[in-house]
C-alpha cells in the first residue's frame, strides 16, 4: 500500500496490517504521560468496562486501564497520547449496549465518561440543551419535566447520551418522534489523533459543509469520541393516557397495530409483546401487576382532550372488534407508570428466563417498512418457533410496531449457539428481503459486521471502511466494530 | 506526501497538487469511451450549465461537454471514465443554486440529469417514494396531491431533488417539517471512481453502520453523485388557511413572529418580508395583488377545524395588538395561491430591482437559534442600512422566521462589490456570534469556503477535507466547493 489509492472505497483485502502496542511498558508509559487524569488498573473494573449483561466478551477482552477524564481537553490529551503510542481506545457510558459495541477486542485502554455527566446549558426558548456524554436520558427528562420539556429517545433506562449517539438508538417513542438522528443539533468531538472539532453551533438548521454531526451519530465510537452534545428538546406531551389490551392471537394484535398505523391517528407510541414475552414478565417478579400471558398491545396517547378522546374511541373500538381482553386506559400517573413499566421491564424479564446462568440470550433488531411488518412478524415466528419446538429454548417477539422494528429473542444453552444464530440470521435476511434493515436501533457492534454487506453491499461496507481509515488511520478507536479491519478477525 | 498520514484531518497546506487533464484530446477520448450516451459540446449549452441567474461564473468557467446519462449504470460509466482520465465532473439539475455550487471552476465535463426525471415507485402505505434526481419538488407534489400526500421541502420552484439533496435545502415549510435532512431515507450513489453504493433499503429507521445518507446530503456534489433517492412523504395538510398582515414597523413584525413562536401554537409556516422586499414585489409586475409596501408577515395554518380556529384567533389578536394593516386570512384555494404567491415571487422580484443588468445581487443565508432572531434582524439591518444610506443600493431582509433563518440582500453596482461583500460578511459573523450558522439552507458553494472555518474551526474544515480526499482522491467531483483544495484558489 505504498502508493496512495485513487479509489473511493477500501476493500478488506487491501487494508494494511494494524499495529497496536499494548505491552505493559507502553501502557505504563501512557499512564505516566497523562498524569493528573484519574485512572484504574483494577482487573475487575477493567473487565466490567468491556462487557454488559447482554453482550459478553471473551476472558482476555478487557482494557489494561480505565481512564476518567473530566473535560474535552482531558479526553483529547488521552486520545492524543494513545495515538502517539498505538494504543486502542474503547469508551464506556451506561453499559447498556447489546451487540458488543464496547468490547475491548484488542485490549488497550477504556475511557469511562463517568465524571462528564453535567447538563451544561438549558435554552428553554430555543428548545435545546447542551450536555456532557454521561448524562442519562432518564435523568435528563426528570430535570426537564419541571420546565414542561421532554427529550424523546428512550432506549434502555440506564443508557447515557454518549452511547445513545454512538449507537443511533431509539426506543418506544421513535414511531412518533423519530430516532437519535433527529434530536442532535451538534457535537463536540475528539478525533483519533486528539484533534477537537465542534460540528456546529446551535441553529436549528445549517447547510455549512459536510454533516459531520450525522456521520458520527451511529458510528459506535469508531470515528470519534463525543464529549459534548447540543440536543433538541420538545414540549412535554400533554394529557398523557396509556392503554393496554391482550389478544387471543398474534394475528389479532398485529392486525390492530396495522389498522392504527393506517388510520392516520398519530399516537405517541404503539408497542407489541407476544405471549411468551408477557409470560416472561409475569414470571420475572419484576412487576406487581397481574398480566395476561397473551399477545399484548401497549399504546400511549396525548394531545388536546378532543384528540385524545377521538384516538381512544378509535383504538377501543378496534380492541373490541378483535376480541381484546383486559382492556385498560388510564391517565393517572400511577397507572401510567405501572402499565408502561410492564413494557419497559421486558429486557430484564427475558434474562430471567435462562434455565442456567450460562444460557445465551440472542436477539435480532430487524426493521422493515410498515407495510411489511405483519409479514416480518409472521414469517419470523415461523422460522424460529418451528425450529425451537420440543427443545429447551425460550423464544419471544417484541415489536416497536409503530416504526416496523421487531426484536426476536432466543434464550438457549451455549451448545445451541450455532443453530440459534443461524435461525436469527434467517430472520435478519428476511428483513432485508422485505426492504428493511438488520438493525433498527441496536447498531452493528461486533455481532453484525458479517451481515452488514448483505444490507449495504460490499461497496457500501468498503466505503465505510475508507471513511474509518481516513479518520482513524491507526485504527485505535474501538477497533473491529461496524466494519472489519482484518481478514481473520 | 509519500508516507500515509496518521492524522485525522488534512490541512490545506498538506494537500498534494491536483492534476486534471482537460486537453481537447483527453475530452475527445472520453466522449469516445462513453459512446452511446448523449452529449453536447455546444458552447452556449456548456456555458449555461456552469452558472445561474443568482450565481454567475467567469467566462472560461464552463464544462467542455455536457453528458446526458439515463441510468445509474450510465452515470457510473461516465464518472469511471472521467476518473481514469483525470477529468473534473460537475452536475446540473434545476439550476437554481445560489452560491456557485455548480460552477465548473476547472472545466471538465458536466452531467446533466435532465433525462433522469422519473418517479420510480410510490409506496402509499409506507409513506415513501423512490425518485430519480431530476424530479422537481413542485411536480412531485402535484403528483402526490391526488393521493392526499405531500413532500414538504420547498426551495426555489425550479429546484430538483438531486440538487435539493446536494445543498441540504429547505424553504418555508422547514419551521414545521424540518429540512431536506429529515426527508431522505436512502440514496443510490455513484462515487468518484464510478463505484455504485445504495446507502439503505426503505426502513424508517436503521443503525446499520455509518450514516452515508446524511454524509452525502449537503455535500454539494463533491463526494458522490445521487442517482436515486427514497424520500419520506407525509399526509397533505388538511383545512389549509393562509394569513397575511403588514405592520407599521419592522419591530412590530418581528415581535409578533417571536410571540407566535413562543406561544406553543405550531403553525405550518411563518415568513417575514421587510418593507423594501414588499416594495420590490409591488414594482416587479410579477403579481396581480396590490400589496402594502411595509413589513409583512405571512402565516400558514392547518389541522382540525378546532386547531385552526384557535390558532387563527391567537394570531389575529396579536396582529391587532400590534396595529397590523391589511389583515387577511383565507382558505379559498385561489386566495391561498395568490397570498403565498406574493411570498414565493420574492427571489425573482428582487432581481428586477437592478438598475443595470450588470448590477450584483448579493445575499446572506444566516440562521440563528430562535431566541437570537430578533437581534440578528435588528443588528443586520443596522449594519447594512447604515452603510447603504445615500447610495444607489437596494437592500432588503427576508426571514424564514419560524426557524431563525434570515436572508439579507444587497443589489449594487459591480464596483461596489468589495464593500457590499464586506457588509454581508459582517452579517455572517454576527450570526456566528449569536451561536448560528453562515448558511441555513443555501450551502457553502464557492462563496463561503473562506468563512466556513469561522463556523466549524480550522479543524472542522480540515476534517471535511480529509473526508473529501478519502472519497475522491483525484478531486474530480465538483472541485473547489465546500472546502478549498489549493492555497491560491
pLDDT digit string (tens) for B271-303?
A: 999 999 999 999 999 998 899 999 999 999 998
- How open is the CA angle A265-A204-B52, to the nearest 5 degrees? 105
Query: How far, in Å, CA of B440 to CA of B437, rounded?
Result: 6
Half-sphere exposure for B274 (CA within 13 Å, toward CB): 19
Measured from the Cβ of residue A334, the count of other Cβ atoms closer than 10 Å reads: 8
Checking if the pLDDT of A305 tops 80, the result is yes
Phi and psi dihedrals of A294, rounded to 5? -160, 160
Residue with grid cell 479491519, as numbered in its chain: A485
What DSSP designation does A240 have? -
The pLDDT assigned to B2 comes to 39
Best of B205, B435, B462 to substitute, by most chain A Cβ atoms within 10 angstroms, is B205
Architecture of domain B354-433: 2-Layer Sandwich (3.30)
SS3 state of residue A428: helix
Query: How far, in Å, CA of A311 to CA of A329, rounded?
Result: 11
Strands A128-131 and A224-232, bridge-based pairing: antiparallel
* CATH code that applies to domain A119-235: 3.30.465.10
SS3 state of residue A260: helix
Query: How far, in Å, CA of B218 to CA of A186, rounded?
Result: 15
Pick from A6, A197, A452: CB nearest B474: A6
ipTM > 0.90, yes or no = yes
The pLDDT assigned to A21 comes to 98
Q: To the nearest whole angstrom, how far is the Cα of B293 from the nearest Cα of chain A? A: 30
* Partner B, chain A 186-215, Cβ-Cβ below 8 Å: 191-193, 195-212, 214-215
CATH T-level topology, domain A241-350: Alpha-Beta Plaits (3.30.70)
**CA-wise closest residue to B380 among B416, B420, B431, B435:** B431
Query: How far, in Å, CA of A5 to CA of B474, rounded?
Result: 10
| Residues in chain A within 8 Å Cβ distance of B192 | 8
Q: Do B404 and A456 touch (CB under 8 A)?
A: no
| Residue A60: C-alpha distances to residues A162, A444, A482, B206 (Å) | 26, 22, 21, 31
Confidence of residue A480 (pLDDT cuts 50, 70, 90): very high
Residue with grid cell 472560461, as numbered in its chain: B60
| Residues in chain A within 8 Å Cβ distance of B198 | 456-457, 460
B12-114+449-471 against B241-350: fold identical: no
**Mind listing the pLDDT tens digit for each residue in A176-220?**
999 999 999 999 999 999 999 999 999 999 999 999 999 999 999
Cβ(B20)–Cβ(B108) under 8 Å? yes
Averaged pLDDT, A102-109: 96
**CA-wise closest residue to A115 among A197, A35, A34, A37:** A37
* Buried-state track B73-103, b at ≥16 Cβ within 10 A, e below 16: ebbbbbbbbbbebbbbbbbbbbbbbbbbbbb
Pick from B204, B218, B403: CB nearest A207: B218
**CA-wise closest residue to A276 among A326, A349, A209, A329:** A349
* CATH code that applies to domain B122-235: 3.30.465.10
**CA-wise closest residue to A79 among A228, A227, A193:** A193
Q: Is A20 on the interface with B (CB under 8 A)?
A: no
Query: How far, in Å, CA of B370 to CA of A2, rounded?
Result: 51
Question: CB neighbours of B179 closer than 8 A, spacing ≥ 6?
Answer: A205, B153, B168, B169, B170, B441
Out of A30-34, A223-227, A414-418, least confident range: A414-418
Looking at per-residue pLDDT, the higher value among B262 and A442 belongs to A442
Cβ(B246)–Cβ(B294) under 8 Å? yes
**How distant is the alpha carbon of residue B42 from its chain centre?**
28
Collect the ranges in chain B with pLDDT lower than 50: 1-2, 489
**CA-wise closest residue to A75 among A203, A195, A235:** A195
Architecture of domain B12-114+449-471: 2-Layer Sandwich (3.30)
Checking if the pLDDT of A324 tops 70, the result is yes
Q: Do B473 and A215 touch (CB under 8 A)?
A: no
Q: To the nearest whole angstrom, how far is the Cα of B189 from the nearest Cα of chain A? A: 10
Cβ(A234)–Cβ(A152) under 8 Å? yes
Cβ(A441)–Cβ(A170) under 8 Å? yes
SS3 state of residue A214: helix
Dihedral, A100, A106, A109, A114 alpha carbons, nearest 10 = 0
Confidence of residue A297 (pLDDT cuts 50, 70, 90): very high
Question: CB neighbours of B441 closer than 8 A, spacing ≥ 6?
Answer: A205, A207, B155, B167, B168, B169, B170, B171, B174, B179, B365, B367, B400, B405
**Mind listing the pLDDT tens digit for each residue in A465-478?**
999 999 999 999 99
Question: CB neighbours of A27 closer than 8 A, spacing ≥ 6?
Answer: A64, A65, A87, A109
Pick from B2, B209, B217: CB nearest A456: B209
As given in the structure block, the three cell numbers for residue B394 are: 437596494
The pLDDT assigned to B275 comes to 94
Find, in chain A, the residue whose alpha carbon is nearest to that of B443. A207
Give chain B as a 3 state SS string.
Answer: CCCCCCCCCCCHHHCCCCCCCCCHHHHHHHHHHCCCCEEECCHHHHHHCCCECCECCCCCCCCCEEEECCCHHHHHHHHHHHHHHCCCEEEECCCCCCCCCCCCCCCCEEEECCCCCCEEEEECCCCEEEECCCCEHHHHHHHHHCCCEECCCCCCCCCEHHHHHHHCCCCCCHHHHCCHHHCEEEEEEEECCCCEEECCCCCCCCCCCCCHHHHHCCCCCCCEEEEEEEEECEECCCCCEEEEEECCCHHHHHHHHHHHHHHCCCCCEEEEECHHHHHHHHHHCCCCCCCCCCCEEEEEECCCHHHHHHHHHHHHHHHHHCCCEEEEEECCHHHHHHHHHHHHCHHHHHHCCCCCCCCEEEECEEECCHHHHHHHHHHHHHHHHHHHCCCCCEEEEEEEHHHCEEEEEEEECHHHHHHHHHHHHHHHHHHHHCCCECECCCCCCCCCCCCHHHHHHHHHHHHHHHHHHHHCCCCCECCCCCCCCCCCC
Cβ(A435)–Cβ(B202) under 8 Å? yes
Query: How far, in Å, CA of B124 to CA of A264, rounded?
Result: 12
The pLDDT assigned to A488 comes to 67
Q: In DSSP terms, which residues pair with B405 in a beta bridge?
A: B367, B400
CATH tag for A12-114+456-471 (out of 1.10.3720.10, 2.10.69.10, 3.40.50.300, 3.30.43.10): 3.30.43.10
Query: How far, in Å, CA of A189 to CA of A209, rounded?
Result: 16
Checking if the pLDDT of A2 tops 50, the result is no
Cβ(B325)–Cβ(B310) under 8 Å? no
The pLDDT assigned to B54 comes to 72
Confidence of residue A1 (pLDDT cuts 50, 70, 90): very low
Sorted by where each begins, the domain ranges of chain A are 12-114+456-471, 119-235, 241-350, 354-433
Q: In DSSP terms, which residues pair with B119 in a beta bridge?
A: B131
Query: How far, in Å, CA of B82 to CA of B87, rounded?
Result: 5
**CA-wise closest residue to A484 among A442, A452, A443, A454:** A452
| Residues in chain B within 8 Å Cβ distance of A8 | 191-193, 195, 224, 471-473
Pick from A199, A202, A306: CB nearest B460: A199
Query: How far, in Å, CA of B178 to CA of A176, rounded?
Result: 15
| Residue B65: C-alpha distances to residues A233, B33, B36, B221, B475 (Å) | 49, 14, 15, 18, 19
Query: How far, in Å, CA of A440 to CA of A376, rounded?
Result: 13
Q: Do B1 and A5 touch (CB under 8 A)?
A: no
Pick from B215, B223, B367: CB nearest A205: B367
What DSSP designation does A175 have? H
How many contacts (CB atoms, under 8 Å) link A and B?
305
As given in the structure block, the three cell numbers for residue A394 are: 425460550
The pLDDT assigned to A3 comes to 56
Mean pLDDT of chain A: 94
Amino acid at each position: 500500500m505504498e502508493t496512495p489509492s485513487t479509489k473511493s472505497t477500501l476493500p478488506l483485502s487491501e487494508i494494511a496490517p494494524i499495529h497496536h502496542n499494548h505491552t505493559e511498558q507502553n501502557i505504563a508509559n501512557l499512564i505516566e504521560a497523562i498524569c493528573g487524569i484519574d485512572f484504574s488498573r483494577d482487573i475487575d473494573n477493567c473487565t466490567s468496562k468491556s462487557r454488559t449483561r447482554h453482550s459478553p466478551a471473551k476472558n482476555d477482552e478487557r482494557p489494561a486501564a480505565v481512564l476518567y477524564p473530566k473535560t474535552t481537553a482531558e479526553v483529547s490529551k488521552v486520545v492524543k497520547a494513545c495515538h502517539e503510542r498505538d494504543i486502542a481506545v474503547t469508551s464506556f457510558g451506561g453499559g447498556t449496549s447489546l451487540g458488543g459495541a464496547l468490547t475491548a477486542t484488542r485490549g488497550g485502554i477504556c475511557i469511562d465518561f463517568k465524571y462528564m455527566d453535567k447538563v451544561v446549558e438549558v435554552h428553554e426558548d430555543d428548545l435545546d440543551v447542551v450536555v456532557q456524554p454521561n448524562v442519562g436520558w432518564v435523568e435528563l427528562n426528570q430535570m426537564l419535566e419541571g420546565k414542561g420539556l421532554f427529550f424523546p429517545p428512550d432506549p434502555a433506562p440506564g443508557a447515557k447520551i454518549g452511547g445513545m449517539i454512538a449507537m443511533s438508538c431509539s426506543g418506544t417513542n421513535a414511531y412518533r418522534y423519530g430516532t437519535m438522528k433527529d434530536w442532535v443539533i451538534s457535537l463536540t468531538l475528539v478525533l483519533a489523533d486528539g484533534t477537537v472539532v465542534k460540528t456546529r453551533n446551535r441553529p436549528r438548521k445549517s447547510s455549512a459543509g459536510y454533516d459531520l454531526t450525522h456521520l458520527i451519530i451511529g458510528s459506535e465510537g469508531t470515528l470519534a469520541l463525543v464529549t459534548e452534545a447540543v440536543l433538541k428538546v420538545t414540549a412535554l406531551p400533554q394529557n398523557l393516557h396509556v392503554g393496554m389490551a391482550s389478544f387471543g392471537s398474534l394475528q389479532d394484535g398485529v392486525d390492530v397495530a396495522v389498522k392504527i398505523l393506517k388510520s392516520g391517528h398519530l399516537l405517541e407510541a404503539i408497542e407489541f409483546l407476544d405471549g411468551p414475552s408477557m409470560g416472561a414478565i409475569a414470571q420475572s417478579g419484576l412487576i406487581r401487576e397481574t398480566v395476561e400471558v397473551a399477545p399484548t398491545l401497549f399504546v400511549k396517547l396525548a394531545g388536546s382532550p378532543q384528540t385524545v378522546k377521538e384516538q381512544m374511541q378509535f383504538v377501543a373500538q378496534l380492541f373490541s372488534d378483535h376480541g381484546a381482553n383486559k382492556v385498560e386506559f388510564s391517565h393517572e400517573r400511577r397507572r401510567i407508570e405501572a402499565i408502561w413499566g410492564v413494557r419497559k421491564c421486558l429486557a430484564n424479564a427475558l434474562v430471567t428466563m435462562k434455565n442456567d446462568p450460562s444460557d445465551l440470550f440472542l436477539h435480532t433488531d430487524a426493521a422493515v417498512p410498515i407495510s411489511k411488518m405483519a409479514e416480518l412478524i409472521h414469517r419470523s415466528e415461523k422460522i424460529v418457533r418451528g425450529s425451537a419446538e420440543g427443545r429447551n429454548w425460550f423464544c419471544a417477539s417484541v415489536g416497536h410496531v409503530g416504526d416496523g422494528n421487531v426484536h426476536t429473542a432466543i434464550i438457549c444453552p451455549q451448545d445451541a449457539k450455532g443453530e440459534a444464530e443461524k435461525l436469527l440470521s434467517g430472520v435478519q435476511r428476511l428483513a432485508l428481503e422485505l426492504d428493511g434493515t438488520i438493525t433498527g436501533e441496536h447498531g452493528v457492534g461486533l455481532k453484525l459486521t458479517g451481515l452488514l454487506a448483505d444490507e449495504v453491499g460490499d461497496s457500501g461496507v468498503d466505503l465505510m471502511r475508507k471513511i474509518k481509515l481516513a479518520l482513524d488511520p491507526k485504527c485505535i478507536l474501538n477497533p473491529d466494530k461496524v466494519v472489519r479491519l482484518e481478514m481473520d478477525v
